[in-house]
Amino acid sequence: MAEIKSGANPLFLREEELRQGLELLFYAYRDFNAEPDAILARHKFGRAHHRVIYFVGRHPSITVGRLLSILGITKQSLSRVLRQLIDQGLITQRPGPTDRRQRLLELTSKGIEMERQLSEKQRVRIARAYREAGAEAVEGFRKVLLGLTRQEMPSKFQPPGRLDR
Amino acid sequence: MAEIKSGANPLFLREEELRQGLELLFYAYRDFNAEPDAILARHKFGRAHHRVIYFVGRHPSITVGRLLSILGITKQSLSRVLRQLIDQGLITQRPGPTDRRQRLLELTSKGIEMERQLSEKQRVRIARAYREAGAEAVEGFRKVLLGLTRQEMPSKFQPPGRLDR
DNA sequence: ACGCTATGTCAGCCGCGTTGACATATATGA
DNA sequence: TCATATATGTCAACGCGGCTGACATAGCGT
């Protein structure tokens, strides 16, 4: 704690600093999702669909089980949106080559197109923020965010909860 | 687009870099809310309650209207959680001194205690991440996050949507 | 042959967004 | 003063996407 207050930073300033970080994260996350939400709404989809599309695009041939553990939701929740995405022709399934119980998921060309539309908005936004902030700042951004992510609760006591609010 | 590829960064690397930023933000936001969620659950509250408690604590004597515009939700949504918080004795209302139509909101001592419990988890988490990353990185973190936040859509076309997932 | 695993589905619950309609108290301007 | 506008609250109904619990089926592995 002693080594933290670099310079003339009394404790009650640190407090304010931390709160500011809190809010920054809150607003950034919120604004960051506004544009994709608008696109999704036109297709009668929600953020849950977005996440599934995103991760299937990111990890082609992913199994349902692996996707479940990435998303941290129940199979019942996943299957609702997955079913819609398959029915609408954005995602296909095929049996796993070695373990045929598995259903390997892929984006169709239509799914890829959708993925591109959605993430483009966010990539443009991040790209702008990165460019304006500079390479140095980007490195700091990543470092801090990584630090926020690691070290979870005992992992059995994580309340799953909604990912999108 | 031409001015973006600063230095020897081919485009397909930038793309990957941006995606990484996306995911970092996603996971950080998610992990960041896991601990408060557990506390809230014990009190039969949710993230909506957390946000209200937080902003009332941050802006004592805030009006309902101002709170609504910060949260970006409808009064019907707010009133549900606000009613619970008032009934449970975490928040009080009093008429505005100059405009008596207003209801100025305050945390009670019980509310303050709750606020402290909730945000403490997050402050510790941020503090650790800041400490590990260093002052320089923190500055970058803030810069980028701020860049992500500014410049919205025309503001009438923002789909409100859930704040908590 | 048996049990375990991967997946899917049905049913019902809950939190917290939404829209629309309507009520009340107070402020404010013609 | 009276009319209108504003600040707030409430009722009703809907939608999304989490959840639990139960049960089904196919395929893996011993």
Tell me which residue in B47, B122, B140 faces A141 most closely, judged by beta carbons: B140
Nearest-10 crossing angle of helices B47-58, B109-133: 90
Q: Which residue has the tokens 């608008």?
A: A38
- Cβ distance A123 to B41 less than 8 Å, yes or no, reads no
Residue A104 host element (H or E): strand A103-107
Distance CA B35, CA B22 (A): 22
Scanning every strand, the nucleotide with its C1' closest to B52's CA turns out to be C16
Question: Tens digits of per-residue pLDDT, A70-115?
Answer: 999 999 999 999 999 999 999 999 999 999 999 999 999 999 999 9
Q: B8 vs A21, which has greater pLDDT?
A: A21
pLDDT band at B125 (very low <50, low <70, confident <90, very high): confident
pLDDT band at A15 (very low <50, low <70, confident <90, very high): confident
Q: Which nucleotides of C are covered by protein (CB under 7 A)?
A: 5-12, 15-21, 25-28
pLDDT band at B7 (very low <50, low <70, confident <90, very high): very low
Residue A95 host element (H or E): strand A91-95
Give residue B109's identity as a one-letter amino acid code: S
Tell me which residue in B125, B148, B165 faces A28 most closely, judged by beta carbons: B148
Mean of the pLDDT values across residues B134-162? Answer: 74
From its phi and psi, is residue A88 left (phi > 0), alpha (psi between -120 and 50) or beta? alpha
CB B149 within 8 A of CB A25: no
pLDDT of res. B108: 98
- Residues near A104 by beta carbon (within 8 Å), at least 6 away in sequence: A61, A62, A63, A93, A94, A95, A96
The CATH number of A11-148 is 1.10.10.10
| Distant-in-sequence contacts of A119-125, Cβ < 8 A, 24+ apart | A119/A36, A119/A54, A119/B19, A119/B22, A121/A35, A121/A36, A121/A39, A122/A32, A122/A35, A122/A36, A122/B22, A123/B15, A123/B18, A123/B19, A123/B22, A125/A32, A125/A35, A125/B148
CB B27 within 8 A of CB A51: no
Question: Tens digits of per-residue pLDDT, A113-162?
Answer: 999 999 888 888 899 899 999 999 999 999 999 988 866 544 444 555 66
pLDDT of res. A87: 95
CA A137 to chain centre: 21
Query: In the predicted model, what is the mean pLDDT of chain B?
Result: 86
Find which of A3-17, A140-154, B64-78, B140-154 is predicted with most confidence, using mean pLDDT: B64-78
Closest by Cα among B26, B144, B51, B11 to A24: B144
Tell me the chain B residues in contact with residue A4 when contact means C-beta distances shorter than 8 Å.
Answer: 127, 130-131
Instruction: Provide the token pair at B110.
Output: 């019980």
Query: How many Å does it take to go from CA B39 to C1' C19?
Result: 32
pLDDT of res. A158: 54
Domain boundaries defined on chain A: 11-148
Mean of the pLDDT values across residues A10-36? Answer: 80
Residue B2 near chain A (CB below 8 Å) = no
Tell me the chain B residues in contact with residue A35 when contact means C-beta distances shorter than 8 Å.
Answer: 153
Scanning every strand, the nucleotide with its C1' closest to A103's CA turns out to be C7
CB A150 within 8 A of CB B29: no
Query: How many Å does it take to go from CA B50 to C1' C24?
Result: 29
From its phi and psi, is residue B96 left (phi > 0), alpha (psi between -120 and 50) or beta? beta
Q: Is the ipTM of this complex over 0.90?
A: no
HEC secondary structure over A47-92: HHHHHHHHHHHHCCCEEHHHHHHHHCCCHHHHHHHHHHHHHCCCEE
Chain A residues 21-80 with CB within 8 Å of chain B: 21-22, 24-25, 27-35, 37-38, 41, 47, 58, 72
Percent of chain B's residues with pLDDT above 70: 82
H helices of chain A, in order, are 11-42, 47-58, 64-71, 75-87, 109-133, 135-149
Query: How many Å does it take to go from CA B77 to C1' D14?
Result: 14
Query: Per CATH, the architecture of B11-149 is what?
Result: Orthogonal Bundle (1.10)
Closest Cα in chain B, distance from residue A74 (Å): 15
Residue A1 scores a pLDDT above 70:
no
Distance CA B111, CA A7 (A): 34
Is A45's CB less than 7 Å from nucleic acid strand D? yes
Distance CA B20, CA A139 (A): 12
Query: How many Å does it take to go from CA A128 to C1' C12?
Result: 46
CB B35 within 8 A of CB B125: yes
Local structure of residue A106 (DSSP, 8 states): E
